[in-house]
Amino acid sequence: MATSTGSSSSPSAVPPSVATFVPLPLPLPRYPAKFTSSLPCDELSALGHGDGDEPLPDDVLNTPRLVRNAVYSHVNPENQSKGASLLSWNKEIAEAIGISKNKLERTQWTDDEYDDLVKFLTGGGRRLPSAVKDDDKQPRLAEPWALCYGGHQFGYYAGQLGDGRAISLFETENRKTGESWELQIKGAGKTPYSRFADGYAVFRSSLREYLCAEAVAALGVASSRSLALLSTETVVIREEGGEPGSIVCRAAPSWVRFGNFEIFFYRKDRKNLRKLAEYVTDEVFKLPKDDPQEVAHFAEKFRKIDIAKPTEGPETVAAEETQQTTTSPSATAATEGAAEGAPVSEPQHKPLYRNRFANMFEQIAMRTAVMVSGWQSVGFCHGVINTDNMSVLGLTIDYGPYAFLDKYDPGYICNHSDSEGRYAFQQQPGICLWNLGKLALTLENLIGAQERVDDLTWMQEQEEDPEKEKHLKDSAQDIVIEIMNKSFRDVFLKDYRQRMNAKLGLGGPELVRNEDLTSILVPALSWMDDHEVDFHQFFRDLADYKVKGTESVDDNMTEVELFVKKLLSTTIWQARGSTAVEEAKTWMTAYHSRLAQSDELKDDQKRRSRMNKVNPAFVLRNWVAQKVIERATASMKKAESGNKEDDPDKDLLEKLLWMCQHPFGEDQVDGNVDAVEGDAACEVKRNDDGLEVYGEFIGPVPDWGEGLQCSCSS
C-alpha cells in the first residue's frame, strides 16, 4: 500500500482505472509528475496508487474533508464530457507548452483527436484507450491532483482552503525550450477542498479568466496562461439562478501559492513545511544547494558558540561578508508597518548568512514586486489578493472579480464583496507586501537557521525548545526586513518608474529620472483623478501630443488645449475646461521641458510610435467582457438549438482572444499585416489609425458600463 510520502509506484503498476490517459494533440506528460512524486500525498487518496491496490471510488476521493500532512490529494475530475464542446483554443500557448507544430490548429486534428481532447478536458478521459503511445513509446498517463493550502482571506487566516474546483492534470516539458508546465482544469467538479461548493464554474467566469490571463500576459505582466475554453451541459446554480457550466484549461510552470506554506505553519507541521520549501527551491526556482565550503567559512569567521547567539562582526568586515539590515521588534510588525508606510529604523552591521531558503524568499519578493508594479502600470485591479491567490512565481493567478481601470480612480474597488476597500487599486502594492510578511512568518525558522539549516539534529533541538526557536525567529528578522526593503520596495519602485517612463514617452530605463515621479507622473495622475480622465486613453492621447520644435508649454498651448479637450467629457469640458487646461500646465510644463531637452524625445513621430507599443488601444474592460459574455452565450444557445441562421458572433471568442493577445493597435498590426489578414476569424480591416480591427470594443465607456463590479462568487 502507498504511504503518504508521495506516489512512488512505477508507471506499469498503476491500475488503469486510477491513471488517466493523456490524448493527442496534448504534449507528452511527465509521468510520474515531479510534484506528486516529491511531496506528501493525502493518505486517503494515496490508497489505490500502490502495487495491487484497489482504487477508491470517486465519491469517496472527492468528498470534502479535512486533509492533514499533505500538499495534495489525488482526485479525478467529474465526468462532464457528455455534450461538451471546445469553444476556443489558444494556439499561442499550445506552442509554448510543446504541442507539435503539426497539431497547433484545430483544423489539423482528426475527428478522434478532437473528441478525445474534449473528453479529457471535461473529465471523461479515463474511458480513452490506454494502449495508444506517442512516438517515444512512453506511457501517456497522468494521475490528476488538487492542492491543499490555507490562506489569509481579507486579512484573516481562514484555515484549510485548497483547490475546490481546480484539478491539475499533468506536468509536461517543452523539449525545445526546456520550460516546464502544469496543466490544470477549473470547474472540474468537487474535490476534498470544495467545502460547501459544487466544484463547477459558470461560463461567464470561465470566459473572463480565459481572456484576461492572455490580456495581462500580452501587456507585459507575469500571468498564468489559457489553453482552452469548453462548454458543458452542466447547469450550475448560482445567485442569479441556473447558468451554463464551463471549464477553462489553464497552464503555469507551478501553481504553488503562499497558502501552501501557511497551512503547514499554522498546523505546526515543520517537517512538511521544510519538504515543500525544499521542493520549491530545488524544482521551481532551481536554486543551488548551500555551498559547504562557504558555510564552513562563514561559521568559522562569525560563529563562536551557537547560531542562536550570533557574534557582532567588526566594523571593518568587508562589505561582501556583511549585509546592511534594518531592525524591528519582529518580522511581522516590520512588514505590517512597512505596508502602511511606517518608517524603519537606522541600519546596523551584523553578520548574516543567506541560505537557499532566504534566497527563495528573495526571489518570491522580487517577482511579486514586478508583478504588482505591472498591475499598477496597466491599471489592473485583481480584486481578491488573498494569500491563497498569491503565486510563489509572482504570476497573476485566480482571475475572479478583476477589472481594468476606466476613469482613473486610485480608490477604485472592483470587487463588490470588498466592502472595506481592502483590495482597492491603490492598496495593491501594500497588500502584496503584507502578504509577503505572512509568507515570511512561515519561513522564519529556515531563514533564521542561516548556515546551520541543514544540520537537521540541531534544527530539531531548536524547534522543540520554545526559547531556542524564538532565537531562530529573531535571527531571521534582519534578513527578512532587508529583503522587504531591497527586494520588494526598491524593485517595485525601479520597475514602476521604468514602466511609467515608457508609457509617458520619456525613453528607456537609462533615461529614468527620479524627479519625473514627483514633477510629472504624480501630478498627472492627480489631474486625471480630479477631471475623471480615462486612464488608458490618457496615454494613447498623450502619444499624439506634438512638441513641434517648441521649447516650452507656453509656446504650445494650442496642443495642450487640444490634448485636454480630447480627454474630457463634454459635460466636464463645458463646466471647467479652462480650469482643466490651466491645471494640466502644472505637470505639462515639466513634461514638455523633458521632451524638448532631447533630440530623440522631441521627435513626435518616433515618440508616438514608441508610446503606442506600450499603451494598449484595446483593453479588456468590464463592459467589454460583459458584452462578450452576453453575445457568446446567445451564440451558444443558437448552436445548441440547431438554429441554421447565419450567426455573426460564431467566431466572437476567437476575435476577442486575438485582441487580448494583440492590444497595441496600428503599430502591432503593421508589423504582421499578412499574417493577421490571413486569419479569417479576426476580419482585420484598416483605417488611418489601424484600429478598426477592434471595432466596437474600443472607444468611450458606455453609460451602462461605468463602474461595473463583480463578486467572488462564480
Give the start-end residues of each E strand in 39-165: 72-74, 85-89, 141-142, 145-147, 152-153, 156-157
**Cα torsion angle, 563, 564, 568, 571, sign:** negative
Residue 47 CA: distances (Å) to CA of 32, 36, 194, 558: 16, 14, 20, 76
- The pLDDT value given to residue 685: 44
> What is the SS3 assignment for 30?
strand
Closest among 429, 407, 403 to 415, alpha carbons compared: 403
Domain boundaries, the chain: 11-60+69-255, 270-500, 511-542+548-601, 622-705
Q: Which amino acid is at 383?
A: G
709 CB neighbour count, 10 Å cutoff: 16
Cell of 234: 452542466
* pLDDT of amino acid 714: 56
Note the pLDDT of residue 642: 79
How far CA 670 is from CA of 218, 542, 568, 611, 618, in Å, comes to 17, 21, 30, 15, 16
Residue holding cell 520596495?
Answer: 489
pLDDT along the chain (714 residues), means of 10: 37 54 95 96 84 76 94 96 97 97 95 96 78 65 96 97 97 96 97 94 97 98 98 91 95 98 98 98 97 92 58 35 34 39 46 95 98 98 98 97 96 94 98 98 98 96 95 95 96 97 92 92 98 97 94 95 96 96 96 94 94 96 96 90 81 94 73 40 45 86 83 60
**What is the reported pLDDT for 436?**
98
> Residue 198: phi, psi to the nearest 5?
-95, -10
Q: By the 8 A CB rule, do 20 and 127 touch? A: no
Known catalytic membership, residue 418: no
Q: What is the DSSP letter of 534?
A: B
Catalytic hit among 42, 116, 163, 388: 388
β partners of residue 243: 236
> Rounded to whole angstroms, how far apart are CA atoms 523 and 502?
17
